[in-house]
Structure 1
């Protein structure tokens, strides 16, 4: 325009307008294209980063799924610790990880198991330690994390006050994740993330691992505690049955003999002497039986002959069944019976003979053991007065009655059956069927 006006010419305003608009359009187009390219570049970088995060998250999810599936096959607490530590150090890139377990009885954290990476070759080693950290603030950051139920990030200080743990596991400035099953603390996991692996997603993955681990450990510890409690109750019941089957019956015989001796003393003191000697022998047998019960001593090498002889001695000397003829018949491979099976058959036979002597008024009885095809069948019969089994079992109630019901409970605990056949005036037959070989001694 300046040039045109300088020569005194009138400009073509349409051409001028077109040139101006073209100039701005061209410059604007190129400027927008540059901005668009910059945005596309930024978006591409964001998508690449998001894709990498998604790939890492997918990998973490696959590792979490594999870990969860493997935890269901763990056989004990230590196996759970090893599985979790392997996953944390291998699949989630942690250089080292440690798991400690809460002992509610002592209120401490103990049973430490750690996994440490060694060098660029990826070699690892497991370390164990039985340090006991008090589950109080004096137990350091690990105990505080468990008590508070929250994740703690240590800075440069040690995670525990135990020098051995700090030295061998190198746990300083680590991430501390409590293991809690509901409101119940079950342990603590401490991990040392490798450089560049401290993202929020990785931390969330570790939280999920801690939750799965806490559930598995909590359920396993609960089952173990209940199993121990059940075993204690069963052992108490077994001891009570043993005492009833042997000691209490023998004491009854001693009382009966002494009562008779006392009545004979004023007029026939010489006649009372044999009865007192018999009571002394019975008392000695009771002493041995009590010692055997306390220490649970039972010779595995007991033979069929010794089995029958001991029962005959029990009937004649302890129960004083002088007018009862007892026939013993041992068939099959008696040596194939486990110690527990022999002890159980012996106790059941004792109880059955006691019932025959004191309640059946029988003149004949038989005890037969037949071992064949992995089973042991005990048959005890008498020609006594008989009874109604349903009525007798219904009358046996309370903690102090371990007769017929005790036989059934003992047999049931062995995985066997106990059948009682009787009716008034027709005698009684008791059939016991149990496994011959039992591994739980």
Structure 2
């Protein structure tokens, strides 16, 4: 019943239009043989034209919400609030969509918090247990090497190779711990952690780094964590995809907001083709960067053109 009633005026208008048109046709046929046939036909045609005009006006008014629907969808996709349509049903639909999106945002925030908590737990266990065990193993190997005689050259060689392997494994675990949850982020802050991560990884990839941070100070842990993860993703994308020679990273406070800019001089890409809805396999990282920023009331803008490099600009409220 609720679906039919809004359509009732349209159906009634169509029925009246068809009825009047049929009557007009019959009237024209009857008046054809009368003395004033041309005058009668003229009035009948005028009446039919008026009916069509009224019918058009009714249809235009009734279908106006459908004309506004594409614009509303575009506004919702741009995450604009207060998207009125003038139609109660469409307004209710927009309200339901916004409620579901808000619920999804809350769930996403909970997932990210749980992810960071799990990263901390794994990093702590790797640091306290695995790293400690490897360190003790290195000490034992060194002691065994000292106990070997000169006649045990082959055993000494094997012990040396074992020590090198243990040292490399320990270094890899330390890198893994830093990727999971860098203690530098908690101890020294966002700028130091981003600078260390960028320099370590970009230098290894042969990409020159330019870094700047001005009057940054400290921010709440969720904000620093989000910006660090976004910077981490942007730097990883530069290394994997950009073929860049230089990367510029800037952190600053602007009008009570923390701004992160990551720019490279690489090959760039078509930004319109990098959206999950397009079936892109390697674009979820870009989507995740934007999602992290929006969850904290910020925004992430990505500018790129083929052959012209890429710029990632993120702004998040500092408090």
Name the TM-score, length of structure 1 as normaliser: 0.35
Name the TM-score, length of structure 2 as normaliser: 0.46
| Higher relative contact order (Cα pairs below 8 Å, separated by 6+ residues) | 2
Q: Which has the larger radius of gyration?
A: 1
**Which has the larger helix fraction?**
2
